[in-house]
Amino acid sequence: MDITYWNKDLETMDRSAIESMQLKRLQALVEKSLKTEFFKKRLARAGISSAEDITSLDDLRRLPFNVKDDLRQNFPTGLLAVDMQEVVRVHSSSGTTGIPTVIYLTQQDMDNWTDLLARSIVATGCSSKDVFQNMMSYGLFTGGLGLHYGAERVGMTVIPVGGGNTQRQVQIMKDFRTTVLHITPSYLLHIHSKLDSFNTRPEELHIERAFLGAEPYSENTRLKLEALFGMHAFNSYGLSEMNGPGVAFECMYKRGMHVWEDAYILEIIDPETGQQLPDGELGEVVLTNLVRSAMPLFRYRTRDLAYVNPEPCRCGRTHRRLSRIQGRTDDMLIVNGVNVFPSQIEEVIMAVPEVGTNYLIHLTKDGSLDKLTVKVEIYSKLFTGDMRELDALKGMIKEKLKASITINPVIELHEPGALPHSEGKAKRVLDEREML
Amino acid sequence: MKITQISVFLENRKGRLSEVCSMLGQADVNIRALTIAETESFGVLRMVVDKPSEAADLFRKNGITANLTDVVAAEVPDKPGGLAAVLKTLSDHDVNVEYMYGFVEKNSENALLVFRFDNPELAAQVLRENGLKVIDEKGIQGL
């Protein structure tokens, strides 16, 4: 395998060079932040009134954490550190669960972000020869436009189709011989389940790679998708508060996502105490964006749970790798007193070949007890018509789940396509328990 | 002399069986014999139809999970003891029945029995040698 780089100097520079770059950029970030009333007050409380108060990277810990609610409190322009005239792009969360969170970028910020995406794309082995079908939503969501610009910068042939309309997506894949997809894993699973009805076999497509992101998923889902389409799937990580995709991306070795540490400072903390955790320990991801001037944001608590792998990567990149997101501090389910992450359930069921491409975790009350039902769609091609096999399958899934999460779930088998599916981010948990 | 049985995976949902059957009706596929095996959360509909490959195509296009299985269909006299005699013959020849279901034919004195055997070739031979009429695909279409 040939290792390709977008900017070899930046991607392979030694740790001390990364850290001195981080310090310089952190000082500039603090200076920018002081231009907003909100950060000025907040930093003053921490005894910081100028960039000169930051003399080493350890001083990062003097900066207070910021959370999603801080962005909401400052809606719409409270965290804007430049004149609106300099802003060339606005992105925002949907705001379906409250006040939206909004971010701003200058032309320089856009260039910085786009370059990180070009770097991410090339790290997977893609080049200007590829045909890139971008199936993430365009618009205020950062996923679609972010990768779009990055792919153009690499020189790929970009098809900006956006999400939805499965039949048309498959037709476009055939017509333009698409080689690279950007898509949520749940939507790609759904597409596979529809191929038969479009009279299309996966082998007729030319997909070589897929960038999977925007929702958590398990390693077994990746393996399943790779096998179903005969391709390589790369994990991608980002969040709109940090610009969107391009914070971390897997290289061709697919063993964790390189966090572009010249552009972001990565910390893992104990979500309870806020204390920094050593590499290798699972905790909450905290990020500082060093390359955005329109809207500075430091020590942002993402609520995503992951750990860091500091080992050198075979690709030669010196930027540390972030594990797959293991869950979120706020998506943990408590079932009869036992903590369960949806990702644990997905990990188990996606390893079962007879399970198809969709599932739903359903929580209800049975008297005073919680009842956990895992509904899975079966994989049509492995259906033999034999009841005993189906019963055995149910029993097997139940046993495996019980071994993993220590709770005895009810397993329901469903027809492919019967469970609710999404053409964007999937909703895998339906919690219908009465809240106390 | 095997014929094709179609098995359909059905989740336990109101109206699902009716949807599947309407689909066949609209495509002018006639059901000759059927049975449903069920548990509390799903069932398997097994049937013999006059146009199995059309039915299989139809199911595939509509995203219905279905599978084709070889079965043997035989006519037995529609009278007390008719089935018992056939089963005894099979048992005497060490032929094991995995499952079976029956249907009474409209215009004859016979019942149509559909058998799933682990060895359908041998079973068909035993049935024929004992004077039973084993029906082929053409025979099914003609029923």
List, for residues A394-418, the tens digit of each pLDDT value: 999 999 999 888 889 999 999 988 8
CB B65, CB A378: distance < 8 Å: yes
| Cβ–Cβ below 8 Å for A415 and B10 | yes
Residues B77/B104, Cβ–Cβ less than 8 Å: no
Residues A310 and A384 in one domain: no
Task: Kindly state the tokens that stand for A414.
Answer: 């469903």
A62 and A183 belong to one structural domain: yes
Q: Which residue of B has its CA nearest to A410?
A: B41
Domain hosting A103: range is: 1-330
What DSSP string runs through A30-93? Answer: HHHHTTSHHHHHHHHHTT--SGGG--SGGGGGGSPPB-HHHHHHTTTTTT--S-GGGEEEEEE-
Query: What pLDDT score was predicted for residue A319?
Result: 98
Residue B142: per-residue pLDDT: 74
- B41: which chain A residues are within 8 Å (Cβ-Cβ)? 412-413
Choose, out of A378, A386, A388, A421, the residue to mutate when testing the contact with B (most B CBs < 10 Å): A386
pLDDT at A431 over 60: yes
Same domain, A220 and A108: yes
- Choose among B69, B60, B30: nearest CA to A197: B60
pLDDT of residue A320: 98
Q: Please tell me which residue of chain B has the smallest CA distance to A386.
A: B44
Q: From 3.10.330.20, 3.30.2130.10, 3.40.50.1370, 3.65.10.10, which CATH number describes the B70-142 domain?
A: 3.30.2130.10
CB A387 to CB B37 under 8 A?
yes
3-class secondary structure, A288: strand
From A199, A413, A416, residue closest to B41, measured CB to CB: A413
Q: What is the pLDDT of residue A94?
A: 65
Contact between chains at B63 and A194 (C-beta distance less than 8 A): yes
Residues A358-378 have a mean pLDDT of: 91
pLDDT for residue B85: 85
| pLDDT beyond 70 at A436 | no
> Of the ranges A126-130, A263-267, A283-287, A419-423, which one carries the lowest mean pLDDT score?
A419-423
> What pLDDT score does A330 carry?
80
How many angstroms separate the CA of residue B36 from the nearest CA in chain A?
10
Q: Give the domain CATH number at A119.
A: 3.40.50.12780
Q: Do domains B3-69 and B70-142 have the same CATH topology?
A: yes
Query: What are the strands, taking DSSP E only, across B15-132?
Result: 31-38, 42-49, 66-77, 97-104, 110-117
The total number of structural domains in chain A stands at 2
Angstrom distance (rounded) from CA A8 to CA B85: 82
* ipTM score of complex: 0.79
Q: What is the identity of the amino acid at A92?
A: S
Q: Which amino acid is at B93?
A: H
**Cβ of A391 and B41 within 8 Å?**
no
Enumerate the domain spans of chain B.
3-69, 70-142
Q: How far A121 CA sits from the closest chain B CA (Å)?
A: 35
C-alpha closest to that of A317 among A5, A4, A12: A12
pLDDT at B39: 80
The answer to whether position A436 is within a domain reads no
- Does A115 share its domain with A241? yes
Most confident of A90-94, A144-148, A363-367, B90-94: A144-148
Among A249, A242, A263, residue whose Cα is nearest residue A151: A249
Measure CA A213 to chain center.
4
Note whether B67 contacts A378, CB cutoff 8 Å: no
Residue A196 in this model has a pLDDT that exceeds 60: yes
Is residue A84 a part of any domain in this protein? Answer: yes
The pLDDT of residue A96:
56
A380 to chain B: nearest residue by CA? B65
Within this chain, do residues A371 and A307 fall inside the same structural domain, yes or no? Answer: no
For residue A370, how far is the Cα from the chain centroid? 30
- pLDDT higher than threshold 80 for residue A117: yes
For B44-56, write each residue's pLDDT tens digit. Answer: 999 999 999 999 9
> Of A124, A146, A126, nearest to A134 (Cα)?
A146
Task: Examine the pLDDT at A324 and tell me if it is beyond 70.
Answer: yes
User: Is A175:A194 a contact under the CB 8 Å cutoff?
Assistant: no
Among residues A274, A302, A330, the one where a domain terminates is A330
Tell me if A145 is assigned to some domain: yes
* A323 and A380 part of one domain: no
Q: Hey, which residues does A328 pair with through a beta bridge? A: A304
Look over chain A and give the mean of its residue pLDDT values, rounded to a whole number. 93
Task: Look at residues A315, A330, A345 and tell me which one is the last residue of a structural domain.
Answer: A330
Task: Choose from A384, A391, A410, A419 for mutation: most chain B CBs within 10 A.
Answer: A384
For residue A216, say if its preceding peptide bond is cis, omega within 30 degrees of 0: no
Residue A266 in any domain: the answer is yes
Sign of the four-CA dihedral A424, A429, A432, A433: negative
- Interval A248-295: pLDDT, tens: 999 999 999 999 999 999 999 999 899 999 999 999 999 999 999 999
The CATH number of domain B3-69 is 3.30.2130.10: yes
Residue A95 included in any domain: yes
Cα–Cα distance between A104 and A129 in angstroms, integer?
32
Indicate if the alpha-carbon torsion angle A199, A202, A203, A205 is positive or negative.
Answer: positive
pLDDT for the residue numbered A435: 59
Contact B19, B10 (CB under 8 A): no
Q: What is the pLDDT of residue A59?
A: 96
**pLDDT in the model for residue A255:** 96
The confidence score (pLDDT) of residue A98 equals 66
Q: CATH number of the domain at A355, please.
A: 3.30.300.30
- % of residues, chain A, pLDDT over 70: 98
Residues A180, A257 within the same domain: yes
pLDDT digits (tens, 9 = 90+) for A50-81: 999 999 999 999 999 999 889 989 999 999 99
Backbone φ and ψ of A57, nearest 5°: -65, -25
Size of interface A-B (CB pairs under 8 A): 59
Closest-CA residue of A relative to B43 is A387
Give the pLDDT confidence of A308-321 residue by residue, as tens digits: 999 999 999 999 99
In a domain, A263, yes or no: yes
Residues A211 and A350 in one domain: no
Domain boundary among A297, A330, A363: A330
CB contact under 8 A, B9 and A412: no
Token pair 């889902």 in the structure block, residue: A221
Q: Is residue A1 part of a domain?
A: yes
pLDDT of A97 higher than 60: no
